[in-house]
Amino acid sequence: MPIGIITNVGAIFLGGIVGALSGEHMSDEFKTGLNMAFSICSICMGIYAIAPLKNLAAVIFAVIIGTSLGILLHLGQAINRGAQGMQHFISRFITGPSHLDQKLFETTLVTIIVLFCASGTGIYGTLTEGISGDATILISKSILDFFCAIIFGANLGAVVSLIAVPQFVILMIIFLLAQFIVPLTTPDMIRDFKAAGGVLMLASGFRITKIEMFPTADMIPIMLVIMPISWLWTTVIMPIIH
């Protein structure tokens, strides 16, 4: 049983509900302060994940190629439409926040969908649990995600809890494929993979604080191309260079 996945998904679902119910009792100053705190946590986690990388060039190529693929495939627009659908569904039952501009609402929702569903820590933690049964990484991540979901739920409403649905689907697919993926990897590929996830977390942190609105949804394919590019760089290109 994927205990880590269930814990992480449950943390986001419950956090979103708690935030939606308690949001009106939180001051704007409190929400803004914690929002800034979570953004810096995301940035710090991104830096921590990037630091041990093995092949900087491979990660750079993955960021450029993956982002280009996402833009060409209009992935960001597709995720934005999905976010709108989630909001329309939840609005049938619960009134959403009226104080937010619709564009800001959608932008923030897309940011946290990427943060919760496509973080390097989450995907790596799922691969680890899938191959060894060790849920430590996902359970640790769940603590931050729970409080993060509370704050976003306070700002965006109960729609945040619905992010648990696509997250569960994505992580379960990765969990089931882990036994086939992990044996094909090397420690260097894993380090580069975690670094690529760190880039996404950095971009998400900057978006949360509106420092720079990186196209984080379009950047998701980075996580798909980083391992092949890392392998290609290590086994083909590096021997030629040296």
Residue whose C-alpha is closest to residue 78's, from 225, 220, 237? 220
What is the Cα–Cα distance from 170 to 87, expressed in whole angstroms? 20
| pTM of the model as a whole | 0.81
Retrieve residue 224's tokens.
Answer: 């798909």
pLDDT digits (tens, 9 = 90+) for 108-154: 888 888 888 877 778 888 988 887 888 888 888 898 889 889 888 88
pLDDT computed for residue 91 by the predictor: 65
Backbone φ/ψ region at 96: left (φ over 0), alpha (ψ -120 to 50), beta = beta
Confidence at residue 167, expressed as pLDDT on a 0 to 100 scale: 92
DSSP the chain: --HHHHHHHHHHHHHHHHHHHHGGGS-HHHHHHHHHHHHHHHHHHHHHHHTT-S-HHHHHHHHHHHHHHHHHTTHHHHHHHHHHHHHHHHHTTS---SSS-HHHHHHHHHHHHHHHHS-HHHHHHHHHHHHH---HHHHHHHHHHHHHHHHHHHHH-GGGGGGHHHHHHHHHHHHHHHHHHGGG--HHHHHHHHHHHHHHHHHHHHHHTTS----TTTTTTHHHHHHHHHHHIIIIIHHHH-
> How far apart (Å, rounded) are the C-alpha atoms in residues 195 and 60?
10
Backbone angles phi, psi at 204, to 5 degrees: -65, -40
Chain segment 187-226, per-residue pLDDT in tens: 999 899 889 988 988 988 888 787 888 888 899 899 889 9
Take residue 157 and report the two structure tokens written for it. Answer: 């409403």
Say if residue 94's pLDDT is above 70.
Answer: no
3-state DSSP assignment of residue 92: coil
Structure tokens of 236? 């083909």
pLDDT at 9: 95
Domains in the chain, number: 1
User: In a 10 Å sphere around its CB, with 0-12 CB exposed, 13-18 middle and 19+ buried, how is residue 101 labelled?
Assistant: exposed
List, in order, residues 6 or more apart from 98 with CB less than 8 Å away. Answer: none
CB 199 within 8 A of CB 118: no
| Domain membership of residue 152 as a residue range | 3-241
- 201 contacts 220 by C-beta, under 8 angstroms: no
Whether pLDDT at 241 is above 60: yes
